[in-house]
Structure 1
Amino acid sequence: MAFLDRISKFYDWMLTKGDPRVQNWPLMATPGPILTIVLFYLIAIRQGPKIMDGQKVMGLKMFKLCYNVGLVLLSAYMFYEFLVTSILAGYSYICQPVDYSTDPLALRMANVCWWYFFSKIIELVDTLFLILQKRSVSFLHSYHHSTMIVNWWLGVKYIAGGQSWFLAMLNTFVHVIMYSYYGLSALGPSVQKYLWWKKYLTMLQLSQFFAVVIHTGVNMTQTDCDFPQGFNYAVFLYAISLIVLFANFFQKSYCNNKEKSR
């Protein structure tokens, strides 16, 4: 009981350390709702293919098209907000502490961070499409989608802005291109034959993770920078894990196939 009591006190203490500006924003009071979402997501990955076994593959052409267009627009909006707000606020690429004030630009940055977090929940629909179309859900796919929700709940809860803005800005730019690709792909074989650039999309995804490692690594050397080093270490290691997984995907998808064709 003493152990559980200590855990409870630590949990309560951690919540008190959150950014008071976001306390009453949707899904931000406690981690309960997003942990529940992640749990049901993982259950759906495991049970969904079993439920679809014997069922017809769903086309979902128009729904997928509308969904991807919506995410292109949302990603473009977030990229604009991250870029413009960071410029207006004079953000540094070397050391950028979090502005916890109620200054309009600080709140604007916190707001787009929340939208970025919420977009990661919306993007779980990517996996639903795979399941309904009876396609396999890779470890890379499920790992990336499930962890980003938790990562960015923590990001908004404790560091809405600061160094984390760079990662999100890059990712929203990549997602404008990525969901444009998916939207075009949803139009069917007549359009898919022109989508020769998927390989370069993967290369762009890899490039963003390398950029995040460099950006975070530089900040980790700034011992006088008022940004939590624990979050820097977490972002650094997470980006490396994605580099490893995406590089493995790239090799299997493009390099191995090329070797087999020789």
Structure 2
Amino acid sequence: MSSTNDQLFLDIFEYEDPRTQNYFLMSSPLPLFFILATYVSFIFKIGPAVMKNRQPVNLDKAMMVYNWAQIILNATIFIMGLGQIPRMSLFCSPLDQSNDPHVVTMVNLHYYYMMLKILDLLDTVFFVLRKKNNQVTFLHVYHHLMMAIFTWITVKFFAGGQVYFLGMPNLFVHVVMYFYYFLTAWDPIYKESIWWKKYITQLQLVQHCFIFLSFIIPFLNANCSYPKALLGIYLTQTTLMIYLFTDFYIKTYVKKRSKLH
């Protein structure tokens, strides 16, 4: 059985994209696995144990720098991605493993996007160090883990194509989100402005609904060559994210508001 599984693993890697196999973190899944295993261990075991008898760490200045870095990086990749719009179609953007300069640019953008998803893991580390453990929710952790894993798989095997319509709205939302985080680190008064948080959650919901639409259209398009199995996986994950964000929104803003009245 073990040899069969090993052979299956090797067969899968025959389909790896030759354009990205020499990129940092892309030659093997082991580096990413190590990063994610360390992440999970820290946020659930090591971090809480270290902080148990300590005061929350004041990370306001560090977080302002981190948030501005996120704003700049997300905005830069988003602006670079806008240049690819003329070559993309919401109805069907097939995979292209050629070395055409425009296609390689798209591949590189997906790689940069993947690196951002790994950088995003620091969000949870900051929560733990600041003893904001109530913010380390299933939705938060699941979302960060899945984004890191799926973006790695995409860059490794399926860079380019329809997944462009996942990355672009997500980059825009993250610019808005990290700007809000910067403001709350800069001046605590912004933490009291709950309408900011509510509309950011609404924006995230709209984002996931758009992503669902961008995957269901080529999935139902019999003439689209983008892998239907891959679209099915994306649709399943997007549907789950819509459910989780909707559930969070209702519990956080709808039910709490009804209790106040």
TM over 0.5: yes
| Residue aligning to 1:188 | 187
- Show the counterpart of 2:113: 116
Match of 1:92 in 2: 89
Distance 2:54 2:187 in 1: 21
What is the CA distance between 1:191 and its match in structure 2? 4.0
> Residue 185 of structure 1 contacts residue 195 of structure 1 at CA under 8 Å; is this kept in 2?
no
> Please, which runs of 5 or more residues in structure 2 have no aligned partner?
none
Other-structure match for 1:244 = 243
Which residue in the other structure is 1:260 paired with? Answer: 259
Task: Work out whether 1:132 is the aligned partner of 2:138.
Answer: no
CA-CA distance at 1:153 after TM superposition: 0.5
| Structure-to-structure mapping, 1:135-150, within 5 angstroms | 135-136=132-133, 137-150=136-149
1:29 paired residue number: 27
Distance in 1, Cα, partners of 2:235 & 2:193: 36
2: CA distance between counterparts of 1:231 and 1:78? 24
What's the TM-score, normalizing by structure 1? 0.95
Farther-moved stretch of structure 1 (27-36 vs 62-71): 27-36
How far is the alpha carbon of 1:192 from its aligned partner?
3.5
Deviation at 1:145, TM superposition (A): 0.6
Q: Is the 8 A contact 2:219 2:231 kept in 1?
A: yes
Asked if 2 retains the 8 angstrom alpha-carbon contact of 1:96 and 1:227, the reply is yes
Across the two proteins, how many residue pairs are aligned to each other? Answer: 258
Whole-angstrom CA distance in 1 between matches of 2:240 and 2:39: 21
**Alpha-carbon distance in 2 for matches of 1:92, 1:140:** 31
Does structure 2 conserve the Cα–Cα contact (< 8 Å) formed by 1:41 and 1:146? Answer: no
Match of 1:104 among 101, 105, 115: 101
Pair 1:219-2:208 in alignment: no
> Alpha-carbon deviation of 1:39?
1.2
The CA distance in 2 between the partners of 1:243 and 1:201, in whole Å, is 14
Q: SS of the residue aligned with 2:93?
A: coil
TM-score when scaled to structure 2? 0.96
Corresponding residue number in structure 2 for 1:13: 11
SS at match of 2:161: coil
Q: Structure 2 counterpart of 1:219, which letter?
A: P
State the identity as a percent: 34
Dislocated runs of 4+, deviation >4 Å: none
Q: C-alpha distance in 1, partners of 2:207/2:41?
A: 30
SS of the residue corresponding to residue 110 of structure 1 reads helix
Residue 75 of structure 1 is matched in structure 2 by 74
SS, match of residue 40 in structure 1? helix
| Inter-partner Cα distance in structure 2 for 1:128 and 1:83 | 31
Instruction: Report the CA distance between 1:188 and its aligned residue.
Output: 2.9
Query: What's the C-alpha RMSD, in Å, of the aligned pairs?
Result: 1.2
